[in-house]
Chain A
């Protein structure tokens, strides 16, 4: 028996030392990889963006892969570490990512992204109803943001809350949560787990259209002023790797995207050119809220 266990210990040892050899392997063929922030329904992400990847592959003449990530931070990390060269970011995640990758730039945004907004939604038990001015009645309620790194679910709502009361959400609300994504925010407010929430208006509208929202349970009580949100960002140095003018080619392919089936995945009615400067306001807001280092 003694022999048996010593032998198995030795065998285990040998097997284990080889584990680190099997790390990640690098693909040798030229592939462009992109990702997107997981802002809603994560089970649909691959379904949504694989179509976009196929479109880009066909138009660019380079194999384009989509990889799904689990969090906003993971999307930024992948962009930073050159694991993806192109990404569909939100306002804040884009600013963060471009700050970390010198020379990277925003190249395209949805038509809607110029005038993006967040909805504040409330459970019917709160008795709050739609108003044009900031809903003062939400103080003292339980409140949920979306992801911690979301522009429409966190940054801008928090900005307006602080502007209104000069106090942090944690001081203002009886409980503050971060649901993780927009569809979950809607579900949780609808179930009454949180009384009030802040959500991306696009996600609200598409869920409403899909019949997933019961308006007798949850309704929009306020919409924030407009700001700039989502954009496609691209890393620097793609031209040297994929050939001159490659970045511009990506930009024009994105701008030309007109298939409604594809556009529905974002969902946007079309894309227009964008530049880093468009996101200066977001950047300053993020710095003010200590969500970004100057």
Chain B
């Protein structure tokens, strides 16, 4: 950590950024990032032609898809914010923190696959798959927001004993605007997640989007994507917190009733039989023998799938992180200079919207055609998606900056370097570290490219109906995430307050 012991914050941040890029490059030495020769142009031509001439034969279906996508997102995020609010109050307890990091680590798709075993393809599956990881994220972010409440009310020390009242009167009113703005942002994320849930069969827009891409029906895919982008772009116009109860009521009323039902026997069977390996299920074993059998089974699973999975997951994430960093560094001045011309600004905003809203899976799918199978399409897809998101969040910060310069200078590169950059860079780095955790879990769903991340093995286990393996691998994934989270926290502690705005110092 000597790297960060220097006096100046700027130096520390510079060293840290360099370290990030160097590690990413180093990872690419060990990973498979070859471009496999291919002839994608004919197919790519058809694809682009289709995407830019969107059409649908079934607009009604499209409307229903969008409605369900929204409904699941609304219900899931609303449930998450309530649970997350409660958890955020208890977040100082290590056990709560651990559980949140643990549950957060499991991708929504895997939650959906898990709950599908219990509730089938029902609304509950979709809502819970969104709500659980989101609640844990809310808990952490809200906790971090509380840490940065400006007024601590030190002259009323006796308030320390009545924590709930303190929360209601001192914390909440101060940080409410921040919490509300985070909630809005999370709704946008929720809509994206909800769409992605369609990939595993839930009736959201992702269901048809994936099919359309797979079948080469690109003009339908184009229509679906366009509708989805418009939906996301319009969120800020209609999503008002006070209208939420109304929206929730509508969503609840029109929820799809599932064609799949599941009896309590099936649910019980899942917990009592499915998730345990066959080796420990023969009746005559003692508890001790069962434990040792499970240990052996687990260690062979870890050797065969866990370790290789962890290695490629980490390699992929580190490269994606470095890629995200570089792309952001390129995007930020570009967008900033485009900001002051309405047309250029509009283009920039659309670009950001497309970058952050297109599911990584779809991006990776297109890149796979271009670059062939390796980690490269996954890295680029993750970098595009995440840099789009970070740039979008940073832009909101830049807009909030009060700069004492002439408006004519604002678009210039010099103004960017000397005025905007120093102001947002610490925030940028902490956002990047926060996304690191998300990149780690998103790397999971890119197993489809043949990149053998942990997610690849988890997906295989679900596909093979080996829930024992799936669960063990999910636990490994979650633990890995907790570990990485702790590490990045430690790393961030090397900065002082300036460097860390999003995260707390617990």
Binding site for B on A (CB under 8 A): 2, 4-5, 8-9, 11-13, 15-16, 18-20, 22-26, 33, 41-44, 65, 67, 69-74, 76-78, 80-83, 96, 100, 123, 125, 142, 144, 147-149, 170, 174-178, 180-181, 183-184, 187-188, 190-195, 217, 291-293
If A24-B257, A33-B259, A149-B463 touch, does A191 touch B116 (CB 8 Å cutoff)? Answer: no
Residues of the B chain whose Cβ atoms lie less than 8 Å from the Cβ of A194: 372-373
**Identity of the chain B residue whose Cβ is nearest the Cβ of A189 in the assembled complex:** B38
Total CB contacts across the A-B interface at under 8 A: 188
Does B153 have its Cβ within 8 Å of any Cβ on chain A? Answer: no
| Residues in B whose Cβ lies below 8 Å from that of A44 | 215
Interface string of B23-41 (1 = CB under 8 A from A): 0000000001010111110
Given A15-B78, A25-B257, 17 other A-B residues pairs in contact with their CB atoms under 8 A: A4-B242, A12-B81, A16-B75, A24-B119, A24-B262, A70-B200, A71-B201, A74-B116, A78-B120, A83-B120, A125-B38, A148-B459, A174-B32, A174-B34, A175-B372, A180-B214, A183-B215
Residues of A within 8 A of B448 (CB): 177-178, 180
CA distance A25 to B216 in the complex (A): 35
Q: Is the CB of B201 within 8 A of A192?
A: no
Q: Please tell me if B244 contacts chain A, counting CB pairs below 8 Å.
A: yes
Other-chain contact of B450, A81, A100, A177, A184 (Cβ < 8 Å): A177
State the CA gap A8–B459 with chains docked (Å): 40
14 contacts between A and B (CB under 8 A): A16-B248, A19-B252, A25-B257, A70-B199, A73-B464, A83-B120, A100-B465, A144-B450, A149-B464, A174-B34, A175-B36, A175-B372, A175-B373, A191-B38
Which chain A residue lies CB-closest to B277? A293
Q: Which of A19, A23, A149 contacts B79 (CB 8 A)?
A: A19
Stretch from B122-130, B401-409, B415-423, B496-504 that touches the partner: B122-130
B residues with CB within 8 A of A: 32, 34, 36-40, 42-44, 75, 78-79, 81-82, 116-117, 119-124, 127, 173, 176, 199-201, 207-208, 210-212, 214-217, 220, 241-242, 244-245, 248-249, 252, 255, 257-263, 266, 278, 368-369, 372-374, 448-450, 452, 459-460, 462-466
Question: Is B249 a contact partner of A15 (Cβ separation < 8 A)?
Answer: yes
Question: Which of A19, A42, A72 lies at the interface centre, i.e. has the most chain B CB atoms within 10 A of its CB?
Answer: A19
The residue from B122, B217, B450, B452 contacting A23, defined by CB atoms under 8 A apart: B122
Bound form: Cα–Cα A47–B423 in Å: 57
Q: Is the CB of B248 within 8 A of A78?
A: no
With A83-B261, A125-B39 already in contact, the answer to whether A42 and B373 are too (CB < 8 A) is no
Q: Are B215 and A74 in contact (CB-based, < 8 A)?
A: no
- Contact check, A76 vs B465: say whether CB atoms are below 8 A apart: yes
Chain B contacts of A11 at CB under 8 A?
244-245
Indicate if the CB atoms of B373 and A144 lie closer than 8 Å: yes
A16 to B255, alpha carbons, bound, how many Å?
13
List B contacts of A96 (CB < 8 A): 464-465
Distance of A217 Cα from B38 Cα, bound (Å): 11
Q: What DSSP secondary structure best describes chain B's contact surface?
A: helix
B215: chain A residues within 8 A (beta carbon): 41-44, 183-184
How close is A213's CB to chain B, nearest CB, in angstroms?
12
CB-based contact B465/A177 at 8 Å:
no
Q: Which of A24, A73, A125 contacts B122 (CB 8 A)?
A: A24
Given contacts A125-B37, A148-B459, A181-B214, contact A191 B43 (CB under 8 A): yes
A20–B125 CA distance with the chains assembled, in angstroms: 10
- Which chain A residues border B176 with CB–CB below 8 Å? 5
Decide if the interface of chain A is mainly helix, strand, loop or mixed: mixed
Given A78-B260, A192-B38, the answer on whether A175 and B32 have CB atoms closer than 8 Å is yes
Cβ 8 A contact of A22, one of B36, B255, B373: B255
B252 / chain A contacts, CB cutoff of 8 Å: 15, 18-19, 22
A81-B266, A96-B465, A148-B460 given; A142·B259 CB < 8 A: no
**Chain A positions within 8 Å of B34 at CB level:** 174
Contacts of B40 in A (CB 8 A): 191-193
| Chain B contacts for A174, CB-based, 8 A | 32, 34, 36
In the complex, the answer to whether B120 meets A175 with C-beta atoms within 8 Å is no
In the bound complex, CA of A130 to CA of B153 (Å): 81
| Bound CA–CA A9/B81 (angstroms) | 10
CB distance B211 to A142 under 8 Å?
Answer: no
Would you call A291 and B464 a contact (CB within 8 A)?
yes
Contacting pair A195 B36 (CB below 8 A):
yes
In the bound complex, residues from chain B placing their C-beta under 8 Å from that of A18 are 252
B214's nearest neighbour on chain A, judged by CB, is A184
Shortest Cβ gap from A269 to chain B (Å): 25
Neighbour of B248 across the interface among A12, A33, A292, A293, CB < 8 A: A12
CB within 8 Å for A77 and B465 given contacts A2-B173, A16-B248: yes
